[in-house]
Amino acid sequence: MKQIQLLVPLFLVAASLFTPIARSQDRPNIIFLMTDDQRWDNMGCYGRPEFKTPNIDQLAKQGVVFDQAVCAVAICMPSRVTMMTGRHVSNHRVGFVAPNDYTLSQADFAKGYPAMLKEEGYRTGFIGKVGFTVTEKAQRPSTPREHYYEVNTGEVFDFFAGSETVPSRGLELWPANDPGLQEIYRAGRKGTGRTLKTGEAILRFLDTQPKDQPFCLSVSFYAVKHDSDRDMYMPHYQQFKDYGFSAPDNWVEGDNEKLPQVVKDHARGVPLHRQRSSTPAMYENLVRRFATQGYSVDQQVGLMMEKLKEMGQLENTVIIYTSDNGRFQGSHGLFDKCLLYEESVRAPLIVFDGRISDSKQGRREDALISSVDMAPTILSIAGLKPPATMQGRDFSGILNQTQDMSEWRDAVLMEDLFIVKLFRSKRKPNVDDINQKLIDANESYRSRGIRTVRWKYFVYYEQSPPIEELYDLEIDSQEQTNLVNSPEHAEVLQKLRKRTEEMYKEAVR
């Protein structure tokens, strides 16, 4: 029997100091939709209509589509914490491997956007994959064997239907007396699947929403991660089963000899590519499955939009759609994420604001947005000032076109701290010694860098000597020509090196 400790987060004490909540029509509802490992271009509104995402495409037509959105870290656990807290991974230190392998403390969780909106009277909900663990105090490793979300986050979320990684492992549901919620996730239900259940839970949250209270619902789809039959709703697969998806120009059959040697020797994306995406047949089989899952997500977005219209709430709801990171799908001879190429770090980002008149809806933006910006922007949309702990920038001024773009950022920081050998050793007591031995043996491929609208620079900084990559995205969007050794780009290289270190030092403050 698990031992439950009654905890009273500090924010509940602070809540009593605020004035009574405003009526729901005075503040917008907010829905934050995040998919898992959905590559930015795997949808129609980003140029690939064969993926069949009509509802997401409609959301894009009525909202703002960001073409330069970037993940500050491109792997699920730290990416999700970054978006919830508005902090870089080197600052919050919640990740998969040592030495940045901490859980998120309750004190830090209380400074994320859901807890702060809860303080201000919002009804809060969470559905899907949490992806990280909250504990009373930060502890290592970040992946404890047991997760007690109701114990550690129950005071933040009024409605919860989630688990750490997959719905079949450690699913928790509350309120416990909600028969509709219990029925959705009843064991043995036929004719449904993880994505459809997520959609049903969204509708259940909306069905149980009080009319006089604003809400914030965070939805983390389990899709499009994994690609077995059990991860898909098979009726949706039929439309893709014979379709021949085109491969991007930087898809590599077999091994990619252009990758840095340390990546070829040690990054897990290389053997995974050999196993999953290194031939045309493998590539097409997997992409059909990702397309199926993306379509299933799209259908739930459509049902959600119809429900909001039926409730009369669409005109007072802001919807944000993004992904925790991308996936290579064979690009660069890789299958995974983490590494700082575009297919991994570039993110879809669509923001729909029902309060905006039809004449002002539907546009694309080139402003550089980082995943670290999500939390402060959500708070700002709700009329709150982001706390000083948040390192991201509020881009609500870009959404409503009041932002002076001459004062907007010209670069975003990216980090990759994942090393597969350390992940396999995460529970060993000498994991820090193992980490140091990997660094001393020149086997570390941790990297950091920056992206501007035109340039991408990153460095494997624990290599001796450091290994660098530089790309001109304006003429080489597929990152095929590394310009590090180009004399005519020496000045650009030096500037980006310096800027990377400056931005990193600011992130770890």
What string of DSSP letters covers 63-102?
Answer: SEEESSEE-SB-SHHHHHHHHHHT--HHHH--SSSTTS-P
Residues 398 and 349 both lie in one domain: yes
Query: The sheet that has 455-460: what strands, in order across it?
Result: 412-416, 447-451, 455-460, 467-472
Q: Which residues on adjacent β-strands are paired with residue 448? A: 415, 459
Is 284 part of any domain? Answer: yes
Is 470 part of any domain? Answer: yes
Residues 109 and 200 both lie in one domain: yes
Residues 169 and 297 both lie in one domain: yes
Residues 108 and 203 both lie in one domain: yes
In tens, the pLDDT along 78-100 reads 999 999 999 999 999 999 999 99
Q: Which two tokens stand for residue 298?
A: 């799209």
Is 8 part of any domain? Answer: no
Q: Which of 220, 215, 506 has its CA nearest to residue 378?
A: 215
Q: Assign 509 a pLDDT band (cuts: 50, 70, 90).
A: confident
Length of the chain as a residue count: 509
Q: Which two tokens stand for residue 53?
A: 């995402």
Query: Is-contact 264 255, C-beta < 8 A?
Result: yes
**Burial, 40: exposed, middle or buried (Cβ in 10 Å; 0-12, 13-18, 19+)?**
buried
Percent of the chain with pLDDT over 70: 95
Q: Which residues on adjacent β-strands are paired with residue 288? A: none
Task: Report the pLDDT value the prediction gives residue 23, as an integer from 0 to 100.
Answer: 42
Q: End of a domain among 350, 379, 404?
A: 404
Q: Which two tokens stand for residue 450?
A: 């920056």
In tens, the pLDDT along 47-85 reads 999 999 999 999 999 999 999 999 999 999 999 999 999
CATH label of the domain that carries residue 133: 3.40.720.10
Residues 426 and 398 both lie in one domain: no
Mean pLDDT of 472-486: 98
Mean pLDDT of 280-303: 97
**Residue 420 belongs to what domain range?**
413-507
Number of independent structural domains in the chain:
2
Q: Using N-to-C axis directions, what is the helix angle for 194-207 and 280-311, rounded to 10°?
A: 10
CATH label of the domain that carries residue 442: 3.30.1120
Q: End of a domain among 350, 373, 404?
A: 404
Task: Please check the confidence at residue 486 and state whether its pLDDT lies above 50.
Answer: yes
Task: Report the pLDDT value the prediction gives residue 147, as an integer from 0 to 100.
Answer: 83
**Burial, 423: exposed, middle or buried (Cβ in 10 Å; 0-12, 13-18, 19+)?**
middle
Residues 145 and 272 both lie in one domain: yes
Residues 55 and 120 both lie in one domain: yes
Query: Is-contact 111 432, C-beta < 8 A?
Result: no
Vertex 370: Cα angle to 500 and 68 (nearest 5): 100
Residues 420 and 380 both lie in one domain: no
Residues 82 and 217 both lie in one domain: yes
Vertex 497: Cα angle to 494 and 498 (nearest 5): 90
Look up the pTM and report it.
0.94
Residues 195 and 56 both lie in one domain: yes
Residues 188 and 111 both lie in one domain: yes
